[in-house]
């Protein structure tokens, strides 16, 4: 009797493994072995009528992504790329369902080995709602992100490793994989490399100066407006916020007319009031850079002013009173109380502003189209072009989609890396105590 009970227990303890192996061989059979009839039947139907039909299509899509086509005018490389990306995503979903099928069969087989009854489909759905409710609510947004953001992002990254340009454009020509050749040519390839590094250098300078000047002027005006002795604060604050209230593209177009060399108001004032010769704001490389920085300052300082004003008004007045009692001067109160607290709260915002200025295509494009043109720049680059505006020219003017995609990937790596690194280093991100 004891020997028979031992054999029965050993046979019973193997139920989980038999169920898991059965589901690994054919989805749903492990659930049927566990007497989970509804779930097993649904998984068997999925395996029979969906997986068997879809798997060859998915594998063909992945093969097309690898080959990028074999016959011109019949295969379209761009469509094959899109189909390949979607096939990979769907294959990941299928693999997830397959793993869930095996795990579910094993877990319920384990319950049977322990003398418990397997969970029915209603119990499983109830547990899913209780334990994974947040994921279920977020899943529609996640799917939308995949469709709107992730898919185009991966598509752009892939184009950066191909030779897709005017001379390799489907369906007449097929696209080929070229590895890192685009990146190598942009960074080490003669005129292209020279243009890339010059535009990249100006992009960094533009982003740093644009961010610093906005916050310096915005912070200065905020401190002045925060002075209790200043009168007409509301009127002054309203006037100073007007540049931010006007739509940016409207302001840029107005500034473009004002900075016209022959007919602009700026040159009229300079020549009429100060007897200064006409300044070629949009035609000279140096003055064009000054112009874009000046317009960027006009558009951005009101935002910085509002941010700093909010920070200043949130500072506890008792700190200033205690410092005054201790004999601190106005400069010492500003240096040891105002400045640290403002910088502490402003650091993440400055990082975001830097990232925004790094990709501030609207201002550069609308003011002077990245000009003036430079004959020593490849790809139609101009003196005030930043990387993103150069990408636009490479895409729509020169049809160098491969270089444009490669530069876009470089921009993403730089901006994302800079933002993540600096966010993690800011004390406000780390939620440290301000005074330690």
Supply the DSSP string of 197-215, one letter for each residue: HHHHHHHHHHHHHHHHHHH
Any idea what the Cα angle at residue 44 is, between residues 39 and 48, rounded to 5°?
A: 150
Taking 60 as the threshold, does the pLDDT of residue 436 lie above it?
no
Question: Hey, what are 296's tokens?
Answer: 């960027």
End-to-end CA distance of the chain: 73
In which residue are the tokens 């007045």 written? 317
Is the confidence at residue 24, as pLDDT, over 90?
A: yes
pTM reported for the whole predicted model: 0.84
pLDDT at 9: 45
DSSP letter at 162 equals: B
- How far apart CA 79 and CA 61 sit, in angstroms, is 10
Q: Are 178 and 163 in contact (CB under 8 A)?
A: yes
Average pLDDT of the residues in 400-425: 87
Average pLDDT, the chain: 88
Task: Return the higher-pLDDT residue of 296 and 237.
Answer: 296
More confident residue, 330 or 81: 81
Dump pLDDT digits (tens) for 89-148: 999 999 999 999 999 999 988 888 888 888 777 777 777 777 777 787 888 888 888 888
Both tokens of 280, joined, read 């070629």
| 370 neighbors 149 (Cβ within 8 angstroms) | no
Higher pLDDT, 384 or 223: 384
Pairwise CA distance, residues 424 & 433, whole Å: 15
List CB contacts of 417: < 8 A, sequence separation 6 or more.
Answer: none
Query: Quick one: angle between helices 401-425 and 339-358, nearest 10?
Result: 170
Domains of the chain: 2-179 (no CATH), 183-430 (1.10.3720.10)
- pLDDT digit string (tens) for 326-338? 888 888 888 888 8
Q: What is the pLDDT of residue 338?
A: 85
Q: Which of 93, 87, 79, 45 is nearest to 62 (CA)?
A: 87
239-289 confidence digits (pLDDT tens): 888 888 888 889 999 999 999 988 899 999 988 888 888 899 999 999 999
- Whether the per-residue pLDDT at 431 is higher than 80: the answer is no
d(CA 109, CA 96): 20
pLDDT at 7 over 60: no
Does the pLDDT at position 380 exceed 50? yes
């Amino acid at each position: 009797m004891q020997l028979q009970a031992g054999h029965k227990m050993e046979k019973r303890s193997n139920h989980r493994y038999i169920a898991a192996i059965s589901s690994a061989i054919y989805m749903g059979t492990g659930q049927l072995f566990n007497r989970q009839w509804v779930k097993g039947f649904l998984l068997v139907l999925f395996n029979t009528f969906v997986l068997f039909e879809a798997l060859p299509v998915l594998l063909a899509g992945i093969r097309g992504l690898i080959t990028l086509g074999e016959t011109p005018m019949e295969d379209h490389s761009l469509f094959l790329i899109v189909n390949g990306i979607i096939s990979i995503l769907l294959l990941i979903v299928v693999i997830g369902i397959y793993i869930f099928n095996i795990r579910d069969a094993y877990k319920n087989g384990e319950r049977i080995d322990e003398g418990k009854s397997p969970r029915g489909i209603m119990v499983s759905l109830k547990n899913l709602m209780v334990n994974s409710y947040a994921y279920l609510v977020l899943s529609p947004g996640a799917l939308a992100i995949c469709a709107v953001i992730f898919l185009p992002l991966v598509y752009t990254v892939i184009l950066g490793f191909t030779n897709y340009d005017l001379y390799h454009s489907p369906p007449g020509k097929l696209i080929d994989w070229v590895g890192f050749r685009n990146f190598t040519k942009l960074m080490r390839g003669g005129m292209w490399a020279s243009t890339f590094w010059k535009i990249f250098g100006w992009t960094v300078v533009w982003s740093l100066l644009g961010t610093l000047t906005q916050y310096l002027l915005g912070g200065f005006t905020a401190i002045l407006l925060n002075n209790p002795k200043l009168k007409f604060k509301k009127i002054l604050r309203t006037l100073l916020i007007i540049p931010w209230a006007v739509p940016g593209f409207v302001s840029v177009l107005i500034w473009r007319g004002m900075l016209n060399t022959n007919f602009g108001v700026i040159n009229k004032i300079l020549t009429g009031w100060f007897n200064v010769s006409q300044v070629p704001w949009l035609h000279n490389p140096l003055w064009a850079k000054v112009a874009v920085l000046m317009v960027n300052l006009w558009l951005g300082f009101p935002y910085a002013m509002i941010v700093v004003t909010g920070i200043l008004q949130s500072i506890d007045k008792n700190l200033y009173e205690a410092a005054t009692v201790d004999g601190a001067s106005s400069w010492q109160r500003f240096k040891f109380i105002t400045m640290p607290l403002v910088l502490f709260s402003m650091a993440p915002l400055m990082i975001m502003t830097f990232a925004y200025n790094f990709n501030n295509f609207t201002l550069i494009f609308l003011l002077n189209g990245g000009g003036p043109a430079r004959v020593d720049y490849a790809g139609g680059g101009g003196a005030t072009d930043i990387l993103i505006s150069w990408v636009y020219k490479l895409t729509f003017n020169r049809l160098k989609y491969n270089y444009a995609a490669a530069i876009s990937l470089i921009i993403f790596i730089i901006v994302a890396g800079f933002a993540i690194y600096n966010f993690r280093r800011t004390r406000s991100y780390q939620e440290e105590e301000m005074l330690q």
